[in-house]
């Protein structure tokens, strides 16, 4: 099947609701196989867009052992009105209605997006000021998955003393971009094997990740 393609200016986030369910620790080096499929497409209307849900199973090429399952929900602003169902997309996790148990402060660097770009994500939205402006932003934004990983590391240290094998699921909903150099405040609610979280910015009134859910081994 041909790859899905959307004009950059029509995609709010590449994956505004990413998630991962690890099956075992990732090896430092290995050949892997990734099997991806679209598991849902929801029509929010011609004037709104489409919600597309994909799922990717990653396994070792030699043994077939499962490594993790990735989920991704993408909102494409220009692709509504195709006649599909409007309801049925995964519902966001509910944050507890109480003060957070902990708030973790995490600094980002002014060159954070350029450093993260070395991982292979060379989307010009995160490095080219002219491209960022054309997409509707005043400056290049931090990669969503960099924000995702930054929050995951902060929560991992808070609830599992950095034991990465303790996490069995990590799901978020992006709500606003981070600009490199801003300070992320991660609010965490701890309830047994579930750590709910929300990330906001210290410098301005903006929530960047909402409805976060970190699932721990029981």
Only one residue has tokens 């490199």, namely 180
Superfamily the domain 92-218 falls into: Hotdog Thioesterase (3.10.129.10)
Kindly give the parts of the chain with pLDDT less than 70.
Answer: 1-15
For residue 10, the model assigns a pLDDT of: 47
pLDDT digits (tens, 9 = 90+) for 135-147: 889 999 999 999 9
For residue 50, the model assigns a pLDDT of: 86
pLDDT digits (tens, 9 = 90+) for 53-89: 999 999 999 999 999 999 998 887 777 888 888 887 7
For residue 5, the model assigns a pLDDT of: 60
For residue 81, the model assigns a pLDDT of: 86
For residue 88, the model assigns a pLDDT of: 75
The domain ranges of the chain are 1-82, 92-218
For residue 20, the model assigns a pLDDT of: 94
Long-range CB contacts (within 8 A, 24+) of 57-60: 58/32, 58/33, 58/34, 59/32, 59/33, 59/35, 60/27, 60/30, 60/31, 60/32, 60/33
pTM of the predicted model, to two decimals?
0.86
In the set 43, 79, 126, 187, the catalytic residue is 126
> Matching CATH topology for 1-82 and 92-218?
yes
Q: Which contiguous run of DSSP H or E holds residue 53?
A: strand 50-60
User: DSSP assignment of 113-149, as one string?
Assistant: HHHHHTTT---GGGT-HHHHHHTT-SS----HHHHHH
- 121 belongs to the catalytic site: yes
- 93 belongs to the catalytic site: no
Superfamily the domain 1-82 falls into: Hotdog Thioesterase (3.10.129.10)
Nearest to 52 by CA among 97, 8, 32, 82: 82
């Amino acid at each position: 099947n041909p790859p899905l393609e959307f004009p950059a200016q029509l995609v709010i986030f590449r994956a505004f609701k990413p998630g991962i369910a690890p099956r075992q620790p990732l090896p430092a080096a290995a050949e892997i196989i990734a099997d991806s499929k679209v598991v849902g497409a929801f029509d929010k209307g011609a004037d709104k867009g489409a919600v597309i849900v994909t799922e990717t199973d990653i396994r070792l090429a030699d043994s077939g052992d499962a490594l993790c399952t990735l989920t991704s929900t993408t909102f494409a602003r220009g692709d509504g009105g195709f006649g599909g169902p409007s309801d049925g997309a995964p519902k966001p996790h509910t944050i507890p209605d109480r003060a957070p148990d902990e708030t973790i402060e995490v600094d980002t660097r002014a060159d954070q997006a350029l450093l993260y770009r070395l991982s292979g994500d060379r989307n010009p939205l995160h490095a080219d000021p002219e491209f960022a402006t054309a997409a509707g932003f005043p400056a290049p934004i931090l990669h969503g998955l960099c924000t995702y990983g930054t929050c995951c590391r902060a929560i991992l240290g808070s609830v599992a003393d950095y034991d990465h094998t303790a996490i069995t699921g990590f799901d978020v909903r992006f709500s606003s971009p981070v600009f490199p150099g801003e300070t992320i405040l991660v609010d965490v609610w701890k309830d047994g094997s579930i750590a709910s979280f929300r990330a906001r910015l210290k410098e301005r009134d903006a929530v960047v990740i909402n409805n976060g859910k970190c699932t721990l081994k029981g």
